[in-house]
Amino acid sequence: MMDGSTQVHVRNAALVADALAGLTADAKTLSPKWLYDHHGSALFEEITRLPEYYPTRTEAGILHANADALAGLVPQGGALVELGSGASVKTRTLLDASGHMGAYVPIDISRDFLFETAEGLRATYPALDIVPVVADFTAPVSLPAALTELPKVAFFPGSTIGNLTPEGAQALLSGVRAWAGIEAFILGADMVKDTQTLVAAYDDAQGVTAEFITNILRRLNREAEADFDLAAFDYRATWNAALTRIDMELVSNRDQRVRVAGHSIDFAAGEPIHISAARKYTPDSLAALAGAAGWDVRHRHVDAAERFSVAVLTPKA
């Protein structure tokens, strides 16, 4: 409920609209895309270096071992287009393996972090055209006109595909399949494995992941005139076997009322806010997802234990 006499000034209308829709639903949610402000992006990069978080180092090993083959998917003068680029750490493995690319197009929702990263890349790769695009990759992305006709390869590492709903993942793959000049899609996907390893990866001993997820409340306080007491919410990560995913939630540890942009939202003790999910795949479920979106799985590069997969997708004829 919003008090008619209350005048609220918010910095991010899209964040507010999304948050209110999620927090007033029967099962409270917040979209994980709002985790990635400047601080959140930096926290996520810290997570990728944690000992429990095996996906980053495992995928990095796969990329290094197969860098020439993966970079070679980009035609001469073509563009490598990365969705949710972050600090572009893994991408450097492919850029280092190739001097033939014409452009690298990092796409990210965090504008300041994206532009800082792009400047660093220009210094490292002066002969490469670095074209940052500020966009939410979960929605249709418009590439700069100058890149429209270039042959291009999409790059989506980190198993970020697992953070999307099945419908969202298929929509993303279908959207990229519709790009002019698309020749391949390099897709990182984490695989189903033992529960202990999975949960530890998303609930580290140092509490960095908890801080990362809780940062979304801090952002709401800053940008949406909210008054969340961060100490009144506990982080919880659980394995959902039925949906083959890790669920990440913030759980209210008491009965409380929170204000968001002039609206009052009640929480019962023990009530969760679902923030993010990390879906894990099998070879069959990954192939089914790709096929439904118009792609064939041409090859899967994996580590020795097959914990992680870097799949090469090509457009169906």
Dump pLDDT digits (tens) for 173-199. Answer: 999 999 999 999 999 999 999 999 999
**Average pLDDT of the residues in 82-105:** 93
CA distances from 306 to 13, 45, 189, 191, 241 (A): 43, 24, 11, 8, 19
Dump pLDDT digits (tens) for 192-213. Answer: 999 999 999 999 999 999 999 9
Residue 211 and residue 53 in contact, taking contact as beta carbons nearer than 8 Å: no
pLDDT at position 172 is 96
Dump pLDDT digits (tens) for 241-260. Answer: 999 999 999 999 999 999 99
Look at residue 76 and tell me whether its pLDDT is greater than 50.
yes
Dump pLDDT digits (tens) for 101-139. Answer: 999 999 998 888 899 999 999 999 999 999 999 999 988
pLDDT at position 298 is 97
Q: At what angle do helices 166-177 and 283-292 cross, to 10 degrees?
A: 50
The structural domains of the chain, ordered by start, are 54-193+282-315 (3.40.50.150)
Name the amino acid, one letter, at 263. H
Look at residue 11 and tell me whether its pLDDT is greater than 80.
no
Query: Residues of the chain with pLDDT > 90: what percent?
Result: 85
pTM comes to 0.85
Please state, as a whole number, how many other Cβ atoms lie within 10 Å of the Cβ of residue 254: 12
